Amino acid sequence: MVKTAPDSLLSAAAELLDRGGPGAVTLRGLGLAAGVSRGAPYHHFATKTELLSAIATRELDRLADAFLSVDKQGAPAVREMMLIYLRWALQYPERFRLTFGRWEDDDARLGAAAARVRGLFVTAVSDAQEQRELPAGDPVRLGVLLLSAMHGAADLAAAGHLSPTRTGRVDVDDLVNDLFLHLKAAARP
């Protein structure tokens, strides 16, 4: 079981991840990077998988907090959440890949954090549907469709395939704006 780790350890681990991907994150290396003994991280994490899961959980918790800070309602809230998500994915591509990559082991904290983010997003989608700003239908399915679009946009942008001056003459903000123009049109009776 993962004990609550000091935020400084998770911050140092996230920085290691940012610089070199999951391969750069080791428990011994984390001690050195965090300025503590090499054995100190073992008091909080039994395995590297637990450490990586704790990083992903913290990232999802931060996304959820950012979603909660959106003071808009309806489609503007959904749009803002999508932009928060995309900007995070582009600023921290290794954290994005880790957090939304494949997880072999079930981790209750990671699952709960992921459910919280999805729940906030689906609630915003449902509210926008009730206000007839997004097309009617199952808000969970529409939420998954929008999340899929965000993942694709983040991957394309990170690979350099989205640019306001090159391919498609579009960036992620433009894509989100275009998507909402189409969704708004589809929501009209």
Question: Which amino acid, 131?
Answer: Q
Closest CA to 20 of 101, 95, 84, 87: 95
pLDDT confidence of residue 4? 58
24: tokens are 């750069």
Cα 55 to Cα 8, 25, 118, 120, distances in angstroms:
11, 11, 18, 20
Closest CA to 86 of 169, 15, 176: 176
Residues of the chain with pLDDT under 50: 1-2
pLDDT confidence of residue 93? 95
Question: Which amino acid, 122?
Answer: V
pLDDT confidence of residue 129? 96
CB half-sphere exposure, 148, CA atoms < 13 A: 6
CB 13 within 8 Å of CB 25: yes
pLDDT digits 0-9 by tens, 155-187: 988 888 887 887 678 888 888 999 999 998 998
> CA 62, CA 58: separation in Å to the nearest integer?
6
CB 32 within 8 Å of CB 23: no
pLDDT confidence of residue 1? 42
What CATH number belongs to 58-187? 1.10.357.10
| Domain chopping of the chain, boundaries | 1-46, 58-187
pLDDT confidence of residue 35? 87
What CATH number belongs to 1-46? 1.10.10
> CA 151, CA 139: separation in Å to the nearest integer?
18
